[in-house]
Amino acid sequence: MTKTVLRIDASARHTGSESRALTQRIVDRLAPTTVINRDLAVPVPAIDSEWLTANWTPEDQRTDAQRETLALSDTLIQEVQTADTIVIGAPIYNFGIPATLKTWIDQIARAGITFRYSETGPQGLMTGKRAIVAITSGGTQVGSDFDFASGYLRHVLGFIGITDVQFVAADQLMVDADASHAKAEAALQALAA
């Protein structure tokens, strides 16, 4: 049984959002004891030169201002560390993920905390977690040559150590909504709680 779920919604829409509806159904199916909600419609700030300088300054040498610069990133990472399962609502915008979701990823992908470099290459440190991605699109078929979202999400989650990644796709909703919803429902029912 899943104990803690981190639910991330990246849709810019609140009303009528297919990905938000799907993340809710996934969370309901998992029946966690605790849900941490992170709504990226209230975007996290993009990393900038001050953030990079603070991040690369050894922790014991950071100024108070640098600690404040990294405070949100630390909180976002803590949310991932706390969760057993991460449920991500990822609508495909222009063949990729929403900018707000990419910004969240930039905030949590920190060397020495969520991954590290070793002699054999990068090693993810967020192991033992599961991710379920509710991916939606109007016309892009998930897994097609024009889908730059699902492969990226699988890769970046694996990069930080989350290799158990499942997709519940409601894609090509503008092409055949009924077939899309039926496919998503089948994937949802196949999820182990």
**Residues annotated in the binding site for FMN, as ranges?**
11, 17-19, 136-139
Q: Which of 91, 100, 102 is nearest to 21 (CA)?
A: 91
- C-beta of residue 124 within 8 angstroms of C-beta of residue 162: yes
CB neighbours of residue 55 within 10 Å: 19
Task: Give the C-alpha distances (Å, rounded to integers) separating 169 from 98, 116, 135.
Answer: 16, 31, 5
**Residues annotated in the binding site, as ranges?**
11, 17-19, 136-139
Cα(147)–Cα(151) distance, integer angstroms: 8
First to last CA, the chain: 6
